[in-house]
């Protein structure tokens, strides 16, 4: 579906933001892209819908090359993108105007825009926000509205670029749950994040460091790879504890997504074995 070959991209002459990257992503996958600040992860995903074009190599989406300008609209219809800052992706004065924006660009007739906008808002459970201005919304509500504005164009793949990094813990959970639900419904999800507590949602993890891929594989094996010691990445406390437990006798523990319940049980088991 998304085919990337030897992609290189440089903001500055001597320093490459991306260095010959080759990746392919299949339909229906849920990929988490992790890495520290400035590791190239955001630059990377911006190549997928042609916001950035490769200096070298190629990016193909459903066999359409992003360098062919006439392909871009078709590509962007298939791949939607939600960004980090909720406030600066709003282009409408109200939520419904903002959600309608994409369809207006595609020159859909008014009545169709109305139907699809209403449906998209209802799907995310935010119909009651339709007439509100972005300044009246919480960060989480804004991100859901932005997502509605992407879903209204019925993309096959949605890219989330650090969408939870400016949210409080509650909104974060709300948005993550929505992303997980979208994946269950069959959408391809690509989620850029620097919070490793989020990677267990994904089946596959791609880790970036200094413009290169340092890990690409199953999320359950990610915490075993050397990529975890990457300076830009901090391991969540429960995972750290799980890793310690495994080193100390509990071979079968799943370190990719430990929660309080499973850890409690494991420790209890260990204790009772003595």
Q: Which of residues 106-145 bind another protein (CB under 8 A)?
A: 106-111, 113-114, 117, 131, 133-135, 138-139
**Closest Cα partner for 140 from 125, 122, 159?**
125
Interface region with another protein, contact rule CB under 8 A, candidates 6-14, 164-172, 206-214, 221-229: 164-172
- Of 55 and 264, which has the nearer Cβ to another protein? 264
Least distance (Å) from another protein to the CB of residue 50?
A: 8
Residue 52 or 213 with smaller CB distance to another protein: 52
Pairwise CA distance, residues 222 & 241, whole Å: 16
> Any contact of residue 257 with another protein (CB under 8 A)?
no
Nearer residue to another protein within complex by CB, 20 or 138: 138
| Residue 155 C-beta: closest distance to another protein, Å | 10
CB of 189 to another protein, least distance (A): 16
Position among 8, 60, 65, 77 found at the interface with another protein (CB under 8 A): 77
Cβ pair 64, 58 in contact under 8 A: no
Of 5-13, 121-129, 218-226, 256-264, the segment contacting another protein by CB under 8 A is 256-264
Residue range at the interface with another protein (CB under 8 A); choices 31-39, 180-188, 198-206, 209-217? 31-39
Contact flag: residue 173 with another protein (CB under 8 A): no
- Output 8 or 262, the one with its CB closest to another protein: 262
CB of 40 to another protein, least distance (A): 14
Q: Binder to another protein among 87, 122, 177, 221 (CB under 8 A)? A: 87
Please report, as residue ranges, which positions from 222 to 251 form the binding site for another protein (by CB under 8 A).
231-234, 237-238, 240-241, 244-245, 248-249
């Amino acid at each position: 579906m998304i085919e990337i070959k030897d992609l290189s991209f440089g903001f500055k002459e001597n320093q490459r933001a991306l260095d010959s990257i080759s990746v392919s992503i299949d339909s229906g996958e849920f990929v988490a892209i992790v890495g520290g600040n400035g590791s190239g992860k955001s630059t990377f995903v911006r190549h997928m819908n042609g916001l950035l074009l490769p200096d070298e190599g190629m990016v193909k989406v459903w066999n359409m090359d992003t360098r062919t300008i006439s392909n871009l609209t078709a590509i962007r219809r298939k791949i939607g993108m939600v960004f980090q800052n909720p406030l600066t992706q709003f282009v409408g004065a109200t939520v419904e105007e903002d959600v309608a924006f994409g369809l207006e660009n595609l020159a859909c007739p008014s009545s169709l825009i109305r139907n699809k906008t209403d449906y998209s808002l209802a799907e995310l459970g935010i119909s009651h926000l339709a007439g509100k201005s972005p300044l009246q919304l919480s960060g989480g509500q804004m991100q859901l509205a932005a997502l509605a504005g992407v879903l209204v164009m019925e993309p096959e793949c949605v890219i989330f670029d650090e969408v939870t990094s400016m949210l409080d813990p509650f909104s974060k959970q709300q948005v993550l749950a929505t992303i997980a639900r979208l994946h269950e419904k069959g959408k391809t999800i690509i989620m850029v994040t620097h919070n490793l507590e989020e990677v267990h949602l994904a089946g596959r993890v791609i880790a970036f460091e200094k413009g290169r891929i340092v890990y690409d594989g199953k999320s359950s094996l990610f915490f075993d790879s050397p990529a975890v010691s990457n300076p830009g990445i901090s391991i969540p406390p429960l995972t750290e504890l799980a890793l310690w437990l495994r080193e100390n006798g509990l071979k079968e523990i799943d370190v990719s997504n430990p929660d309080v319940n499973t850890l409690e049980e494991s420790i209890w088991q260990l204790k009772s074995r003595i």
